[in-house]
Chains A and B, each alone.
Chain A
Amino acid sequence: MKTWQCVVCGFTYDETKGDPEHGLEPGTSWENVPADWSCPDCGVAKADFEMVEV
């Protein structure tokens, strides 16, 4: 499991925790995060800004 960081605002997405508030179960890998998901903090679309692995 990896942690990813939004390049625009610094939000971190932890695959082990997922993003349950936005429908992503714990354990959802970044690869499986849908393309229409956007950063909950800044609204950047997944497709626009690669999350960087930290």
Chain B
Amino acid sequence: MSQQPVVIIGSGLAGYTVAREFRKLDTETPVLMLSQVHAGFYSKPMLSNAFAQHKNAESLLIKDAAKMAAEVKIDIRQSAKVTAIDPEKMQLQINGEAQPYSKLILALGADPIRLPLQGDGADAVLSVNDLDDYRGFREAIDGKKNIAILGAGLIGCEFANDLVVAGFKVHVIDLAPQLLGRLLPQESAAFMQRKLEQAGVVFHLGTTTQKVERVGGQLSLVLANGENIIADVVLSAVGLKPKTALAASAGIKTNRGIVVDSLLQTTFPNIYALGDCAEVEGRVLPFVMPIMQAARALASTLSGKPTPLHYPAMPVVVKTPACPVLVSPPEPGAQGAWEIEENDDGIKAVFNHTNGQMLGFALMGAAVSEKASLTQQLPALS
């Protein structure tokens, strides 16, 4: 009987990295990657700063599926929609056909969260969560001038900076009173806001978009504070929701994400999850560095050497050239306080536990140069 493949559902960074790392350890076992779309490899973090890099959707595509399959030595099936997983029989339903697996890796990613909006323009609000979305967004803004961005988080601020530098008029709306609400202390957020405002971005904070209506080829946004913004294109960047439906329908435990232990194993043996869809011991970390760490640990486990995932400290770079940012937020509920040092060139915020241990930091502007020395002082996450 021939050996059943390791099947990876998803062709994003998580799927490709686990395939590549596994191939370093095991050159024999067949690996089948399933992609809902075309499985082209690209840099997702660059979608929100591609203008500054002089890149469009075509130049962001690094390699297509055929090249990736040859390079990583795996099979890739495009337009493969998995409709069901049967953990007992160890098989999938793909486009109505059964596909057995020996090990199954869920690298499904996440969906953009969509705000409930009223008005006949609500369906015109765009999200950019993959390369195809990005292509559509670039087409939509071609020749246009006014962009409204819903969300002043990491992705919203990166897009705002990128678009304002490219010559667009950019408005950013967020219910939170500050930028990057979940990552930054108030003083740092205020510094970043000033820098982005100096670059030309207009912020509307502490309010929310209630209605989007079509007005003569443009979109009119009505905010809860009574303001009215006219935009050619509205981009929503209010966060991501892990894709859990497929796993949940198979009886795999899900919470915020697909629940996995430190071996990245779900509640079923031989089914694993990583990346933006996974909740690893209570944490959902939709960033590149955690994916790389998880992919290496999982590849080792798949090759027969169970390897628990240990996260080191993983500062996140926010790609806003008007205000370079490096942030390593303290864990939710951490005991301690921020200490802030600020001057014209930058701001350094350090979160210290009451016992003196540094638990997080947010560096901006010139302070980013202290990255290496401060990162060394951070404890590992697990």
Contacts and interface: CB of A to CB of B under 8 A. Distances in A.
Interface stretch (B30-38, B42-50, B142-150): B42-50
A10 B292 contact: no
Contact of B53 (A10, A43, A44): A10
B238 to A, nearest CB: 22
A41 interface: yes
B94 interface: no
Interface string B217-243: 000000000000000000000000000
Contact of A8 (B43, B293, B317, B372): B43
A10 B43 contact: yes
Interface residue range, chain B:
10 to 19
A31 interface: no
Nearest to B372: A21
Contacts of A8: 13, 43, 45, 288
Nearest to A48: B20
B289 interface: yes
A5 B45 CA distance: 13
A10 B45 contact: yes
Interface string B350-379: 000000000000000000000110000000
Nearest to B41: A7
B334 interface: no
- Chain B interface, DSSP helix/strand/loop, else mixed: helix
B20 A43 contact: no
B372 A9 contact: no
Nearest to B317: A41
B98 interface: no
B319 interface: yes
Contacts of A6: 43
Contacts of B319: 10
A44 B41 CA distance: 15
> Which of B13, B45, B288, B319 is most buried by chain A, counting CB atoms within 10 A of its CB?
B288
B62 interface: yes
Interface in A30-44: 40-44
Given A21-B372, A22-B372, A48-B20, A7 B43 contact: yes
B290 to A, nearest CB: 9
B195 to A, nearest CB: 20
14 contacts: A8-B45, A8-B288, A9-B43, A10-B43, A10-B46, A10-B49, A10-B319, A11-B317, A21-B371, A41-B289, A41-B317, A43-B289, A43-B293, A44-B288
Interface of A: 5-11, 21-22, 40-44, 48, 52, 54
Interface of B: 13, 20, 43, 45-46, 49, 53, 62, 288-289, 292-293, 314, 317, 319, 371-372
Going nearest first, the 7 A-B pairs with the smallest beta carbon separation are A21-B372, A42-B288, A43-B292, A10-B46, A9-B45, A43-B289, A41-B317
